[in-house]
Amino acid sequence: MIFRIFLLLVISATIQVDARPVSYPGGWTFSTFNDGDRYSVFTHYSPTAFYSIGYHAEYWRAQDYQIHAFHVNNLIKRWNAEASQGNFYVKSGVGFVYSDEGDFDNRTELAVYTGIAADWETRKVFVAYENRITDAGNIADNFRQKVKFGFAPYVAEYGNWHTWLMMEIMHAPESDDKLVATPLVRLFKGANLYEAGISDQGDALINFVHRF
């Protein structure tokens, strides 16, 4: 346990400290994410174009626990081409987990997590991969990964509404539903991004991101 915590913190500390997880220098981002497992709120500030720092809170419904963490997004590499862009990030956090569930009722423990995120897109095609390993003592210990891909049915001009039709596939080995597929619609205009969909388990996915 101690070694795993140390390893996760070393990973976070030895890289350059950044959905896009990193905004423009001096920019703030506020986001909320909701799916069948959890609800989360995230706000972060980008001192530079290479990392962002902020506060991350999430509530896991079935297990009845919540995580509050100091969060760091790191932009490790960006690839800019004439008609496309790719990004690679490391996203990590350290804080505490609080549980109201059974034997862990009213219990608080250290929580750490880390993972990678990568995306590639043109104005018409998008694909992304993300994972996360969480170590929160005896309360929570899990691994999740997901892929998201889609296309834009039309190419909108700057300042107009942009529409994407997408599919998200979540893999959670510790869950009863190890694979969950969620078709969704993404809309964005200016500083706001919205996502909404219904998974093959009947759960709603609702995401919102605002930059300012």
DSSP 3-state of 8:
helix
User: Tell me, what's the pLDDT at 5?
Assistant: 42
Dihedral over Cα of 43, 46, 47, 51: its sign: positive
User: Tell me, what's the pLDDT at 18?
Assistant: 29
User: Tell me, what's the pLDDT at 4?
Assistant: 46
Q: What angle do CA 117, 199, 184 make, to 5 degrees?
A: 65
Q: Is the pTM of this model over 0.75?
A: yes
Q: Which two tokens stand for residue 211?
A: 């930059």
Question: To which residue do tokens 């694979």 refer?
Answer: 179
User: Tell me, what's the pLDDT at 13?
Assistant: 37
User: Tell me, what's the pLDDT at 103?
Assistant: 81
Q: What angle do CA 120, 48, 8 make, to 5 degrees?
A: 70
Residue-level pLDDT, tens digit, the chain, 212 residues: 443 444 444 333 333 322 578 988 999 999 999 998 999 999 999 999 999 999 999 999 989 999 999 999 999 999 999 999 999 999 999 999 999 988 888 899 999 999 999 999 999 999 999 999 999 999 999 999 999 999 999 999 888 999 999 999 999 998 888 999 999 999 999 899 999 999 999 999 999 999 98
Cβ–Cβ under 8 Å, residues 8 and 198:
no
Show me where the domains of the chain are located: 2-199
Q: Which two tokens stand for residue 169?
A: 């596939």
User: Tell me, what's the pLDDT at 177?
Assistant: 84
DSSP assigned state of 24: S
User: Tell me, what's the pLDDT at 20?
Assistant: 77
- Calpha distance 5→191 (Å, rounded): 36
User: Tell me, what's the pLDDT at 19?
Assistant: 52
Backbone angles phi, psi at 13, to 5 degrees: -85, -20
- Calpha distance 26→29 (Å, rounded): 10
Cβ–Cβ under 8 Å, residues 92 and 104:
no
